[in-house]
Amino acid sequence: MTTKAAVWIIALGTMSLTTIRLCAFGQAGAPAADSNAPDANGPTIVLDYSAGGRMNPTEDFMYFVPLISPTLVRREISEGNTQTGRMVSVTWQRDAGQFTCVCVFKMVGNGTQTYYFDPRQMIDHNLKEHPKGEPLKNILDYIQFHGEGEGRMEARGRLVNDRSIVDQVDVHFVNNKSDVSPVTIRLYSVKSKDGRYDYDNGYNRIIARVETLSFKRTDDTPKMGIKITSLKNEGAKEGLWSRVKATVVNLFIPPLEVDKLGNQTMIDFGRAVYRGEPTFTFPRARNLQEMRRAAGAGSAGAKGR
């Protein structure tokens, strides 16, 4: 795998289901943020764990999404959106120079927030090593936050000369086994038409419900782990079969390459929570292209482009 691509291979073995290949993020896109520029910072969220503490707009709370994406991203917020997020509690465990910090967060309100990954960049990049004329399978279309939910962030690390070093951050979008994650991703495939691969020729849209995203400290190309709870065709109902497919799929999903700045931001965020900082400021996501309001508060549809 090169530094310009990341591929998720999902094998379903003897279940006689179609193999799913989530096509790579291309590295084309925004330049790195200039820390000296006046607009180098993104939003600041308040880390307030008190009852009735300050709420953060969901677009600020989930600002890490465009930060981790190596492609251009368009954010769409449903009209009348009331989604907000806040920290609920934080606990610490320390033992023999190791530590674990668990922070529970909650998202409340109505509406959806969807991050679309630039289809032209995604398609063009993956055509470089693709057999001519063959369909391009399962490209990442969007990640969406719908409605309410409760989750937790776990930061693990070590203490070196009284300095805290976070090595891994896991973001769980469910906090209890009975919870349903508010986070989904959509994949699509594209056929060749007159020698071109265009988003308008997309088909076979698949929805996966995301349970966990994992980030690790590294000096190499950063990669994000992912765990899902459901996998189904768009428009189909979620049920036992979609959960069974997800259970098997989780055994085969390799980590996805992400942007270095975004990965480091998640590590820094984990350290800020561990240290009890009152706020955390994101760096600016230069690949966040625009934001628009969409009519209705339902899930984004295939025509949302």
d(CA 40, CA 75): 19
Q: Write down the pLDDT at residue 93.
A: 95
The yes-or-no verdict on residue 262 having pLDDT over 70 is: yes
Say which amino acid occupies 24: A
- Give percent above pLDDT 90 in the chain: 64
pLDDT digits (tens, 9 = 90+) for 184-219: 999 899 999 988 999 999 999 999 999 999 999 999
235-244 mean pLDDT: 94
45-61 mean pLDDT: 91
Q: 295 — phi, psi (to 5°)? A: -65, 135
Residue 95: alpha-carbon gap to chain centroid: 31
pLDDT tier, 35 (very low <50, low <70, confident <90, very high otherwise): very low
Flag the least confident range among 102-106, 171-175, 202-206, 290-294.
290-294
d(CA 22, CA 278): 38
Is the separation of the CB atoms in 245 and 13 below 8 Å? no
Q: Which of 79, 83, 105, 101 is nearest to 92 (CA)?
A: 101
pLDDT digits (tens, 9 = 90+) for 119-158: 998 888 778 778 888 888 878 899 999 999 999 999 999 9
Residues 6 or more apart whose CB falls under 8 angstroms from that of 251 comprise none
Residue matched to tokens 């230069």? 286
pLDDT tier, 293 (very low <50, low <70, confident <90, very high otherwise): confident
d(CA 156, CA 165): 8
Q: Which of 7, 289, 281, 269 is nearest to 155 (CA)?
A: 269
Q: Write down the pLDDT at residue 305.
A: 55
> Residues of 181-205 as b/e, b for ≥16 C-beta within 10 angstroms?
bbbbbbbbbbebeeeebebebbebb
pLDDT digits (tens, 9 = 90+) for 105-121: 999 999 999 999 999 98
The yes-or-no verdict on residue 27 having pLDDT over 70 is: no
Q: Write down the pLDDT at residue 148.
A: 96
240-262 mean pLDDT: 91
Q: 238 is written with which tokens? A: 């979620």
Q: Write down the pLDDT at residue 136.
A: 85
Mean pLDDT of all residues belonging to the chain? 84
HEC letters along the chain: CCCCCCCEEECCHHHCCCCEEEECCCCCCCCCCCCCCCCCEEEEEECCCCCCCCCEEHHHHCCHHHHHCCCCEEEEEECCCCCEEEEEEEEEEEECCEEEEEEEEEEECCCEEEEEECHHHHHHHHHCCCCCCCCEEEEEEEEEEECCEEEEEEEEEEEECCEEEEEEEEEECCCCCCCCCCEEEEEEEEEEECCEEEEEEEEEEEEEEEEEEEEECCCCCCEEEEEEEEEEECCCCCCHHHHHHHHHHCCCCCCEECCHHHHHHHHHHHHHHHCCCCEEEEECCCCEEEEEEECCCCCCCCCCC
- Report in angstroms the alpha-carbon separations of 69 from 115, 145, 161, 177, 224: 10, 16, 34, 29, 11
pLDDT tier, 296 (very low <50, low <70, confident <90, very high otherwise): low
Residues 6 or more apart whose CB falls under 8 angstroms from that of 264 comprise 222
Q: Write down the pLDDT at residue 18.
A: 38
